[in-house]
Amino acid sequence: MEERQTITKEALVEKAKQLAESDNTTTALKQIKELKKQWRRLSGEEESLYDMEMNDKFYGYIDAINSKVTAAYSSVEDKKKALIEEAKKALEQTNMKKAGTLFNDLMEEWKAAGRAEKETDDALWEEFSAIRNEFHDKRKAYYENLTEQFNKNKEAKESLIARIKEANMIENIKEKTAAFNTIMDEWKKTGSAGRDNDDNLWKEFSAERKAFYAARNAYYDNLKETFAERTEAKKQIIADAKLNLARSEFTDEEVNSMKALRNKWKEIGNAGKENEETLWQEFNDVMKRYFDNMKFYKQ
159-203 pLDDT, tens digit per residue, is: 999 999 999 999 999 999 999 999 999 999 999 999 889 999 999
Q: Using one digit for the tens of pLDDT, what is the confidence trace for 118-168?
A: 899 999 999 999 999 999 999 999 888 988 999 999 999 999 999 999 999
Q: 18 with 65: CB under 8 angstroms?
A: no
Rg (CA), the chain: 48
What is the CB-side half-sphere exposure of residue 222 using CA atoms within 13 A? 7
Residue 193 neighbours by CB under 8 Å, 6+ apart: 150, 151, 153, 154, 157, 201
Residue 288 has pLDDT above 90, yes or no: yes
Measured at the alpha carbon of residue 162, what is the angle toward residues 156 and 164, in degrees to the nearest 5? Answer: 100
Rounded Cα–Cα distance for residues 61 and 187 (Å): 74
DSSP string, 188-257: HHS----HHHHHHHHHHHHHHHHHHHHHHHHHHHHHHHHHHHHHHHHHHHHHHHHHHHHH----HHHHHH
Residue 113 has what DSSP assignment?
T
Residue 39's pLDDT is what?
83
Rounded Cα–Cα distance for residues 129 and 133 (Å): 6
Rounded Cα–Cα distance for residues 250 and 252 (Å): 6
Torsion of CA 204, 206, 211, 216, to 10 degrees: 150
- The predicted model scores a pTM of 0.51
Q: Using one digit for the tens of pLDDT, what is the confidence trace for 200-244?
A: 999 999 999 999 999 999 998 998 999 999 999 999 999 999 999
Q: Which of 198, 217, 96 is nearest to 157 (CA)?
A: 198
Residue 4's pLDDT is what?
45
Rounded Cα–Cα distance for residues 138 and 144 (Å): 10
Q: Using one digit for the tens of pLDDT, what is the confidence trace for 48-94?
A: 777 778 888 888 888 887 777 767 667 888 888 888 998 999 999 98
